[in-house]
Structure 1
Amino acid sequence: MQFGNSRAPSVPAERAAGTLPAELTGFVGRRRELAEVGRLLATSRLLTLTGVGGVGKTRIALRAAHRARHGFRDGVRLVELASLREPGLVCHAVAHALEVRDHTARALRDVLAAHLRERELLLVLDTCEHLVDACAGLVETLLHAAPGLRVLATSREPLNAAGEHVLPVAPLPIPRGPDDDRAAEVDSVRLFVERAAAADPSFTPTPATLRAVARVCARLEGVPLALELAAARLRVLSVDEIGDRLGDRFELLSNGGRTAPSRHQTLRSAIGWSHELCEPAERLLWARLSVFAGAFDLETVQRVCADGRLPAGDVFELLAALVDKSIVTRDEGPGGLRFAMLETLREYGAEWLRVLGEEDDLRARHRDHYLRVAEEAERLWFGPGQVGRLLRLGRERPDFRAALEYSLAAGDAHTAQRLAGALQVVWITCGPIAEGRLWLERSLELDDGPSQGRALTLCAAGTIAILQGDEDSARRLLAEAGTLADRHRDPWLQAQLVYQRAVAATFAGRVAEADGLLRDALSRFTAVNATDASFPVQVRLTMATVAILEGDASAAIRLCEDNEKVCREHGDETLLAYSLVLHARAEWIIGGLDAAARRLREAVRLRREHPDPASLGLSVELLAWIAWATGAHRRAAVLLGAAERLWWTFGMAGLRDTLLAAHDDCEVGTGAALGAEAFRRARREGGALTDAEIIAYALAEAEPPTAARDADADPPARLTPREREVAALVAEGLSNRQIAERLTIAKRTADTHLEHILAKLGFSARTQIAAWVTRHMPGRDG
């Protein structure tokens, strides 16, 4: 495997991918909308919340998803799409949210469908409007494949997908007039008052103040984002002054004519008014911040946005002012203090950046910054702080994408190839690896000239193809890279290409060929006197793999011991984990189960902060063997299921199949000891675990959750014949009244049957019954 340099010589835990964010401000109103979302999610499988930007679609979706989470056995997953611009990346965003790290050459849509097939899950797709076609196509595929899946989307327009239900989201209700004696109870007023108190703790809603607030709410038509922006101005203006200034602005707008819908104009007016009230330097920074696709820190802002007009020393105060004005949000996590903008405000800033004539210059500065970040990470990855650096690179993924998109759109093949190649370590260790290959191949398509940069990019693409198990493509890519390496007389690249051919031969089980290529690669490395300390470690890892395949445990152990010494000296954890796994595999050959288990536990601990499916999957699989060999059969079955989940999306099938030669024996022996049904349940339990749960279980720190296992274990025999009929009709999507009509029974009787079914199966939602019927009653006709 190759992770390294392909070029010549605190705080609250970070939110995991796909999980729902904590609410940073109070949630006001929306009872009717939340009830309607709940009702529609119970009866339809695709629900889209539509409305203008800033109307509150995302807040409603997140609150509704949080309420519904206990009704889905596998929980809720959030896919945030605002930062994406490339339709082809929608699948990758969903995979990231689902923690599916696909390292194969299979179509990712098919991988996602297989992953979700037996899951009961609510998938929230947030901000779909700029990717409507891609979202609609993927949603239709996934809903067809996974009967237990529900999708809740937010978009400024419907997806127009099959089976879609659309719920338009209106602004908050506004008072009947400034003298409405119930104004304090109206949701728009309640929202403004709550945000006003946050902006100015001395704010007190007196009757006179409430009349002014009612006037502001009416002016802003109850649009939540507009109200929040206005409330933030209470630090410098009174409510009456805000109302007066809004009135002047709206009069000006009406005189100029309006072509957009009223509510859209209302929001733009509120944003524009907030923009006008900013100081000139604040407006300039707002515009320049729009080049960021994701969150950013102060240092990055200074590097990308500062210049003679906007000195770096002023950036902190200007950024703080934008936070105070609710233009920029702040969040403090393990990576330190980071900032972001809501998409609607980012879009407004981007429009002004174009008006200022700075768009191309700022996007180029943004691209150059992230190119430097990627190349520095590539150079330093094998060393101290590796895991923290990789986690940071993962957080910067939206901006790496934006930089790549800009390079490709500008026709700059050289920079696109440099950036995509430098990110090789990110694609392989952080994923998604298929996305890495997409960018590499797109950069290669842009320019087919015989440059040295193209040769390096071909080598990176070939490396990823090997890891995906796509040997034919790997052979083609590496062959072209070899031709160019010979043309440019680049001995370091030639050494890397020899090594990659050795890796391909190893994964295919051609050990004699691999052995010769590995010795050649190490000899070439020594001859060119390269300074990449990771390269000989990687070569020895593959040599150890070959030794294991040949049954030479002693040689494998010696190679691993050498590697572990070098990795510890350099502060590396990634290659150390692989070395420990191979060391444990060699110990298994000679019966050293205790020594193998110690090394595997260390490897698992190393993967706690930054799990990667290959080394973690191997570790968990081998721990399953040890559990089987020591008579812990149920534990072995759970670990086998967990390892299968980690491995099934990884393309190194040849390595997996050859290294895990005892897998079948472990599976058969464990199944015989437990019995078929108990083995199936335990294995399924392991397959349902998250990465964090797998790690905790592998280290014997915690037992896995049992709710899913217990519910799934209930066979159809637990239900009466009539209850099975009702369950089947629930799976068809019928309401209780429709079930009563179909079975010619009273609706109250149908209600009772449903209550009994939910109680017996330990479920809380109809969606769980539908998925259960699909698994346990597959032969029943619709």
Structure 2
Amino acid sequence: MPWNTVGGGLGNLPPETRGFVGRETELGLLAAELTSEKGSRLLSLVGVGGVGKTRLALHTAARVQRAYPDGVWLVELSALHTDGLVPLAVMEALRLADQTVDSAVAAIAAWARDKRLLLILDSCEHLPAECGALAVALTDKVPGLRVLATSRVRLGAPGEWTMTVEPLPVSGAGGEEGAEPAVADTLFAQRAAGADPGLVLDAPARRRIAAICRGLDGIPLAIELAAARLSDLGLDELHTRLGADRPSRLDLLTSQDGDAPARHRALRTTIGWSHELCAPLERLLWARLSVFAGGFDTEAATFVCAGGPLPAERVGELIEKLVAWSIVRPDRTDPARYRMLDTVREYGGDWLRELGEEEAVRLRHRDHYRRLARQGWAEWNTGRQVAWAVRVLADRANLHAALDFALAGPDRAAGVEMAGHVGLMWRHCGVLRDARHFLDRALAGDVPPGPARTRALWACAAVAVFQGDLEEAANLAVRCADSAREEGDAVAQVAAVYLRGTYLVQSGRMAEAIELVDTVPRLPVQPHGFGAAQLQIGLVAAFAHLMCGEFEAARAAAVEVRRAGAECGECWAGSVTDYLIAQIDLTQGDAATAVRGARTAIAKSALMHDIVVSAVSLDVLAAAVVARGDGLHAARLLGVGSRIWELTGGDQLNSPDLIAARRTHELRVRGEIGHESYETAFAEGRAMSYEEGLRYAARSTGPQE
């Protein structure tokens, strides 16, 4: 996810891709409330599906972002339907890689405590109570935080300021000739220009547009969907097909579903007409695509949605049809992926249930991501590792949904298997809380013996170690070793030794760790997830020797890991070995080599989205640059590192040695360039976004390069 995308400000606010029409009164009121010191801390935009709540929130946020120097952050919640995941979604949006076992709310509050920022919680209607409780908890703890929520219902939280978002104004049936078109008409005309560039907006066309917008009750999503059909229907036919001269096309749809809950009726009135205009196979694909959370690509859609009357070879073509009708939309950041608006997806889900296919299609969705997780595990310790890291992060919401379905169903074994595979991959990408959430669920109660249990135990223990939950990590490591022995899997047993060794290092028992690692049998390194653990045993040895001051032994162990990793083509262990060797080079006085090694470590860790390895490598780079006499550059790097360390939940992993080392380098730079120059350069580095900071660190460090 981009760190800053609009106007150079921090945050993840997406760029405006379509013109915004109307709502000037609402925009003014919202902007005033969000920029006033006495304004509400929690604001909610409430309205029916498709009325434009999200667009209004994003457009307002773009106007006021200068008032929030620490960013405007969009948290998309439409894919969530299970309690407990909302704080994790906030952490994902903020890119927090907190390494602690504190609550997610505490971790967010700790990071934000001295900041001024705006959180947009989008689509809260699925979990209003949890969203409201989170907003209250955060605004209570963080004075500079405001929350702007969008929802079909009020959150019901104390102090909530609510604005009801109404449909756009429409023209009256007896409007005067030459009168200014209503806002709804203007929106239709703008969208129509993209679908039918040859459309002539003469007086008869404007009358038809006004009638269409009246028939659609001024609901923006319905208007946009209608305008998209001009590419094949034409304005006259669209006017006829919608029956736009009747009092209200949407009223007719509502009356057909009068016994449904009000929210469901509002949903149907927004988009039901568009469904009627789709061909049968387009409707079927629309319904089946509703099981995806977040987004999907054509491969996933084909596996999950093909079958029966829908041939696999037609799925791609029909997706493009749905894109043309604005039912499916291209992903904002990845042109190979697609998404559906929450309202549209829910309508498709209603039809899927009416077809009696929901269970079967959700099962295929689970099986697709189960298959994906198996393949990722099988190729994790290969040159495909970076590609898999990108994939499991891009499909995070779908993996959540598939894991939820698997762990809640009768075949929990599938959920245990998936949790082990996905947990290992997320662990290497810094997604520790998501991994721990699902692994804890998978391992709750009795889990049948077998490879799936061993892998889940290993992944959970490895995550717990990174979180500093050493007691639980030790317990899980013992259970993993027992499970591996029961299986008779020699590589799994080696992987279990890694857990014990990491626990000893984290506990400060370096000599024991070295002795343990020396007893591990040297087996051929495997291409799968446990092959990665085989490599990482060498990292345990390298780190333990380094902490004992045994630099040559540490270098030898790290070089061997780097060699074996290069043969496999993997990246994560390679980034750690580059960091360790750079630290050794620096300690032994070779600052120039340390600079090159640290920069390589930063580049590799960025590919894996591992914020912690990036942060420790930045510290080494800054120290090496100090040693080479470039104080200004070092001060900027320390500023970049300071912001990135904040994302981990603790400076320098709360290690006294690492904290002391950083303080020493800071004092040296201050002494070389002066306090004022240091503060200026440090602030410049700290003001950089995550991506900007890593790019700056990876560039040449000056004329000595």
Offset at residue 627 of structure 1 (A): 3.3
Which residue type is aligned with residue 16 of structure 2? E
Distance 1:261 1:536 in 2: 56
Deviation at 1:365, TM superposition (A): 0.5
Task: Check 1:255–1:484 CA distance in 2 against 1; reply closer, same or farther (3 A cut).
Answer: closer
Structure 1 residue 658: Cα displacement? 5.1
1:129 and 1:256 mapped to 2: Cα distance?
Answer: 24
CA distance in 2, matches of 1:183, 1:385: 61
Does residue 590 of the first structure (1) align with residue 592 of the second (2)?
Answer: no
Q: CA deviation at 1:568?
A: 3.0
The answer to whether structure 1 residue 572 and structure 2 residue 570 are counterparts is yes
Structure 2 residue 210 is the aligned partner of structure 1 residue 222: no
Give the alignment of 1:106-117 within 5 angstroms.
106-117=102-113
Aligned to 2:16: 23
Matching of residue 138 in structure 1 with residue 134 in structure 2? yes
Deviates most, 266-275 or 652-661: 652-661
- State the secondary structure of the residue aligned to 1:69: helix
Shift in alpha-carbon separation, 1:101–1:656, aligned structure 2, 3 A: same
Match of 1:340 in 2: 339
Correspondence for 2:189: 193
Instruction: State whether residues 613 and 650 of structure 1, in contact with CA within 8 Å, keep that contact through their aligned partners in structure 2.
Output: no
Secondary structure at the residue paired with 2:167? coil
- For 1:559 and 1:650, locate their aligned partners in 2 and report how far apart those are by CA, in whole Å: 30
Q: 5+ residue gaps in structure 2?
A: none
The correspondence of residues 82-481 of structure 1 with structure 2, limited to 5 A, is 82-181=78-177, 184-247=180-243, 253=253, 256=256, 258=258, 265=265, 268-331=268-331, 333=333, 336-445=335-444, 447-481=446-480
CA drift at 1:476: 1.5
Please give the per-residue CA displacement for 1:538-562, whole angstroms capped at 9, x wherever unaligned. 1222211111112121122222223
Residue by residue over 1:688-710, the C-alpha shift from the partner in whole angstroms, topping out at 9 and shown as x without a partner, is 5432132133235699xxxxxxx
For the 8 Å contact 2:45–2:165, the answer to whether it is kept is yes
Instruction: Quote the offset at 1:475 in angstroms.
Output: 1.2
The amino acid that maps onto 2:346 is E
Q: 1:326 to 1:86 in 2, by over 3 A?
A: same
- Compared with structure 1, are the counterparts of its residues 659 and 72 closer, same or farther at alpha carbon in structure 2 (3 Å cutoff)? closer
Letter in 1 for 2:33: L
**Which one of the candidate residues 598, 610, 616 is aligned to 1:612?**
610
Cα offset, 1:241, TM superposition? 3.8
Corresponding residue pairs, total: 690
Task: Find the aligned partners of 2:374 and 2:675 in 1 and give their Cα distance.
Answer: 52
Q: Distance in 1 between matches of 2:506 and 2:368?
A: 37
Do the aligned residues in 2 keep the contact of 1:498 with 1:520 (CA within 8 Å)? no
Equivalent pair of 2:538/2:558 in contact (CA under 8 Å): yes
* Distance in 2 between residues matched to 1:225 and 1:527, nearest whole Å: 54
For 1:481 and 1:313, the matched residues in 2 are separated by 44
Residue aligning to 1:507: 506
Offset, 1:164 = 2.0
Instruction: Give the SS at the match of 2:172.
Output: coil
Q: 1:651 to 1:151 in 2, by over 3 A?
A: closer
Contact 2:76–2:121, Cα closer than 8 Å, also in 1? yes
Query: Which moved further from structure 2: 498-507 or 636-645?
Result: 636-645
CA pair 102-263 structure 1, distance change in 2 beyond 3 A: closer
Change (3 A) 1:254 1:637: closer
**Structure-1 separation of matches of 2:485 and 2:257:** 67
DSSP-derived class of the 2:97 partner = coil
Unpaired runs of 5+ residues, structure 1, are 1-11, 704-782
Distance 1:582 1:20 in 2: 36
Local SS of the residue matching 1:339? strand
Q: Match of 2:336, SS?
A: strand
Task: Give me the whole-angstrom Cα distance separating, in 2, the residues matched to 1:254 and 1:87.
Answer: 31
Cα 1:250–1:83 shift into 2, 3 Å:
closer
Tell me the amino acid that sits aligned with residue 442 of structure 1. Answer: R
**In 2, distance between residues paired with 1:256 and 1:500?**
61
For residue 742 of structure 1, what is the aligned residue in structure 2? none
1:548 to 546, 549, 568: 546
Deviations 1:115-149 (A, max 9, x none): 11111212211111112122112211221222222
| Structure 1 Cα separation of the partners of residues 529 and 267 of structure 2 | 57
Q: TM-score, normalised by structure 2?
A: 0.91
Deviation at 1:243, TM superposition (A): 3.6
Q: How far apart are the structure 1 equivalents of 2:529 and 2:160? A: 57
**Would the alpha carbon gap of residues 243 and 531 (structure 1) be closer, same or farther in structure 2, given more than 3 Å must change?**
closer
Contact kept in structure 2, 1:52 and 1:264, CA below 8 Å: no
Residue aligned with 1:150, SS:
strand
Equivalent residues of 2:297, 2:336 under 8 A apart: yes
Q: How far does residue 252 in structure 1 lie from its aligned partner after superposition?
A: 5.0
Is contact 2:250–2:270 with CA below 8 Å preserved after alignment?
A: no
Distance 1:186 1:654 in 2: 58
**1:527 to partner: Cα distance:** 11
Q: Per-residue displacement from partner, 1:730-758 (whole Å, max 9, x unpaired)? A: xxxxxxxxxxxxxxxxxxxxxxxxxxxxx
Whether the 8 Å contact between 1:175 and 1:183 is mirrored in structure 2 is no
For each residue in 1:708-737, what CA deviation from the matched residue of structure 2 results, as whole angstroms up to 9, or x when unmatched?
Answer: xxxxxxxxxxxxxxxxxxxxxxxxxxxxxx
Distance 1:257 1:687, change over 3 A: closer
Q: Distance in 1 between matches of 2:350 and 2:627?
A: 65
User: Which fold has the larger relative contact order, with Cα–Cα distance below 8 Å and residues 6 or more apart in sequence?
Assistant: 1
Q: Secondary structure at the match of 2:74?
A: strand
Higher Cα Rg, which structure = 1
Q: How far apart are residue 15 of structure 1 and its match?
A: 7.1
Give the secondary-structure state (helix, strand or coil) at the position aligned to 1:292: coil
